[in-house]
Amino acid sequence: MTLQVIGISVLWLFLFGYVIVASIDFGAGFFNAYSILKHKEHILTKLIQRYLSPVWEVTNVFLVFFFVGMIGFFPKTAFYYGTTLLIPASLAIILIAIRGSYYAFATYGKPQKKTYTMLYGLTGLFIPASLSIVLTISEGGFVTINSSGPILNYVDLFTNPLTWSIVILSLSAVLYISAVFLTWYAYYAQDHKATELLRKYALVSAFPTIVTASGIIFELRSHNSVHYERLLDLWWMFGLSFFLFIGTVFLLWKRKAFGIAFGLLVGQFFLAFFGYGASHYPYLMYPYLTMYDSFTNDTMAIALIIAFIAGLGLLIPSLYLLLKLFLFDKGYVQGKGNNHA
């Protein structure tokens, strides 16, 4: 295994961690806002706030690691993506700032205003939508290189069905991942009304998630035939992912083993996410940029790999302790305080 493959695998693992953790966070904010809009805040709001309170600080750590590592391992990505992502990335940063402001107002502002909660919920949809544009751009066909550098054709980008397939998938996946986890969380808290409501949200969001994922494969057939053929070569990964999806939906439908259902969901997205990444190999942006013509020197690469593996070694135990001491502490999850505080 080459340093390039090890480097991109470590980065992809961090990005996968961000997808799961951030999706739960984004979806929780949206469900909280939606419950207020539908006058069901008495069912969900307290449960979701107990989840968000200890978790929000660590959500963006995975994303920071990924972006720093991408520039460190593959310096040329700054040239190709820096200009093209100016608008989408700026929008995402603004939205993340709005989410951070929500915590300040929600924590120190009395009384808590509905406006802040609504903004927080909407940003949970707009952030993944803006970040998902990167996947579309990486498929090629939207960027041209001239003497002044890369130029992104926004008209082609936003009129292409592939763009909207990926955006819709990002939205439905966020809601699906979050709803399944929160169903498990509500069940653990012995909150039966919240469990039933979140279970309903999970089942409703499951269908568009699998449909849009299939739609992306169909769109790639005409947009990027090279990537499409490589996806077919890895059919077994996506097939296993689909069976895990069926398992999650089955357990939700039968109201059984919500923790196992979430574990199957993580496995489903892991296989699909890494199958997509492997089929994209070795391109970082079709057809201009590959892992091999943009890689840093070996000494820097080894140092980064060691640093990032050490980072994982700190993050994973930290997340475990967060889950153990706060989120799944029986007193805390039932709103009775935290014995460890």
| 61-73 vs 77-84: helix crossing angle, rounded to 10 | 130
Query: In this structure, which amino acid lies at residue 31?
Result: F
The structure's pTM equals 0.90
Exposure of 37 in the CB half-sphere (CA atoms within 13 A): 13
The residues, ordered by sequence, that sit 6+ positions from 145 with a Cβ below 8 Å of its Cβ are 151, 288
Q: Where are the domains of the chain?
A: 3-333
Which residue from 311, 340, 316 is spatially nearest to 328, judged by alpha carbons? 340
The residues, ordered by sequence, that sit 6+ positions from 219 with a Cβ below 8 Å of its Cβ are 161, 162, 165
In the structure encoding, which two tokens stand for residue 184, read together? 């498990």
Relative to beta strand 289-290, strand 283-285 is antiparallel
**What pLDDT does residue 208 have?**
93
Per-residue pLDDT of the chain (341 residues; tens, 9 = 90+): 688 889 899 999 999 998 998 898 888 888 888 888 887 777 777 777 776 655 666 777 888 888 888 889 998 888 888 878 877 888 888 888 777 776 666 555 554 567 777 887 888 888 898 889 899 999 988 988 887 788 888 899 999 999 999 999 999 999 999 999 999 988 888 888 889 999 999 999 999 999 999 889 888 988 998 999 999 999 999 999 999 999 999 999 999 899 999 999 999 999 999 999 999 988 998 888 888 887 888 899 899 999 988 988 888 888 888 777 766 766 666 666 544 43
Question: pLDDT tens, 175-221?
Answer: 999 999 999 988 888 888 889 999 999 999 999 999 999 889 888 98
Strands, E, within 133-269: which ranges?
143-146, 149-152
Q: How far is CA 63 from CA 16, 288, 294, in A?
A: 10, 24, 21
- The β-bridge partners of 144 are 151
Which residue from 131, 275, 142, 139 is spatially nearest to 220, judged by alpha carbons? 139
**What pLDDT does residue 53 have?**
59
**What pLDDT does residue 241 have?**
95
In the structure encoding, which two tokens stand for residue 336, read together? 């009775």
**What pLDDT does residue 151 have?**
87
In the structure encoding, which two tokens stand for residue 238, read together? 């996506």
Tell me which DSSP letter residue 58 carries.
G
In the structure encoding, which two tokens stand for residue 113, read together? 């205003």
**What pLDDT does residue 339 have?**
45
Q: How far is CA 151 from CA 137, 141, 143, 290, in A?
A: 11, 11, 5, 18
Question: pLDDT tens, 266-281?
Answer: 999 999 999 999 999 8
Span between the terminal Cα atoms of the chain, in Å: 45
H/E element, 289:
strand 289-290
d(CA 36, CA 334): 21
Which residue from 125, 205, 221, 210 is spatially nearest to 167, judged by alpha carbons? 125
d(CA 327, CA 341): 12
